[in-house]
Amino acid sequence: MTVTNTGKPKVCVISDDLSGPPDEGVKKFTWEISRALAEMTEIRVIATKGPVQLPGVRLVPTSKTFLTYRLRRELAAFGPDLILYAARGSATFFSILRARLLQTYSPRARVAMLALQTRYHRPWQRPVLRLLAPGPLCAQSQPNKIYLEGLGLDCMLLPSGIDTRTFAPLPEPARSELRGIYGLDASRPVVLHVGHLVRGRRVEVLGDLARRGLQAVLVVSSSMAQDDELGRELEAAGVKLIRDYVPRVESLYQMADCYLFPVESTDNAIEVPLSVLEAMSCDLPVATTKFGGLVELFGEGPHQALRFCSSREELLQATIQLAAERPGGNRALVGRYSWSRIAEMLLERCLHRGAEAGVQNRSGQALQEVREA
């Protein structure tokens, strides 16, 4: 490990897309874990695609293959102990190929890669992947971890984190004031969803809730492509769409009565969705599908304010009930998942436990320790 004048290890985070505001799962995860790592390491954050709006991020334009002298020069000059590659496409064949190239640029560094969504591979790619993957892939669900390990790849579990100071509940007068700011009726329950405006996220459920008399609000990721036809359908059903970037998105959770997460396919969200953790941190009740790594993280329950649903109708009924009753208790479930603890898990696995040859993957044990803290 490099000994710097600060006594901290050197970490380089490389993203192939930090353009625009951090209002999408992979970008937000990358930015938040970078901020946490900055508190405990000497860090450099590199984006290969711009324009970059986030402070302290270096823009190093490169080709899709990462074959560029400038990126190699940046890494050689910095001399990282750990490279964290935040691949926009998760663990695709070509993302893993780019991670291997980063390893050749910094042969003395450990290279970890975010695999926040499940990606399957063609039969001819699978034997090649075992030779390519340079270091641990950071998965968010046990099925994805098992799949990747079945390909002969090193893998660890790394959940999403939460900033509990920012995402905190508000007293009723402040909540009513926020509803006024967003043009909502203080006397009717508000159901919220934050994410992409695409049919794959099953946001049509919000239209069903609006037709049943609830105030349904969809906050759209402003930096992602939007399905305008779907948007018109939802607005016709009475759903309020917020399409502009909201810098203080916590205010939307704070004024709502229930958070709805109707997504089923991991193609459409990272496997521990940040929006669910943010809602829970604001002590908002949550109705969700059995998505990704959520059941593994919190257990199926029973929970007073967290409902895992198996059908569309069950999801609708749970949302209506939770919005009316507004039970608490979710904030206590997420308090242990601070971004600093997630960053510590990554460093422990990559620079300590994983630095010695033959060390077995103990990320499951580390995650259990976080759960029990």
pLDDT averages per 10-residue partition of the chain, 373 residues: 69 91 90 96 94 89 91 96 94 95 95 96 94 91 96 96 96 94 94 93 96 96 84 96 92 97 92 97 98 94 94 97 97 95 96 51 48 53
Measured distance CA(25)–CA(30) in Å, rounded = 9
Helix, strand or coil, per DSSP, at residue 29: helix
**Residue 293 bridge partners (DSSP):** none
Measured distance CA(183)–CA(175) in Å, rounded = 12
Say yes or no: do domains 10-161+339-372 and 172-334 share a fold.
yes
* Chain centroid, CA 168 distance in Å: 19
Q: How many residues does the chain have?
A: 373
> What is the predicted pLDDT for the residue at 108?
94
Q: The CATH number of 10-161+339-372 is which of 3.40.50.10140, 3.30.479.10, 3.40.50.720, 3.40.50.2000? A: 3.40.50.2000
How close are the terminal C-alpha atoms of the chain, in Å? 29
* The residue to which tokens 């790594």 are assigned: 293
Output the CA angle 331-368-270, nearest 5 degrees: 65
> What is the predicted pLDDT for the residue at 363?
43
| Burial label, 64 (beta-carbon count in 10 A; 0-12, 13-18, 19+) | exposed
Helix, strand or coil, per DSSP, at residue 103: helix
The torsion defined by the Cα of 129, 132, 135 and 140, in degrees rounded to 10, comes to -30
313: Cβ contacts below 8 Å, ≥ 6 apart: none
Q: The CATH number of 172-334 is which of 3.40.50.2000, 3.20.20.80, 3.90.1200.10, 1.10.10.10? A: 3.40.50.2000
Tell me: cis bond preceding 51? Omega within 30 of 0 counts. Answer: yes
What are the tokens at 323? 């919005």
Closest listed residue to residue 260, CA positions, set 206, 334, 197: 206
Helix, strand or coil, per DSSP, at residue 85: strand
What are the tokens at 358? 């033959």
What are the tokens at 172? 């009723």
10 Å Cβ neighbour count for 272?
26
What are the tokens at 20? 């625009």
Measured distance CA(19)–CA(247) in Å, rounded = 15
Sheet of 42-47: strand order equals 57-59, 42-47, 10-15, 82-86, 110-115, 137-139, 155-157
What are the tokens at 230? 């779907």
Domain ranges of the chain: 10-161+339-372, 172-334
Closest listed residue to residue 218, CA positions, set 186, 259, 247, 279: 259
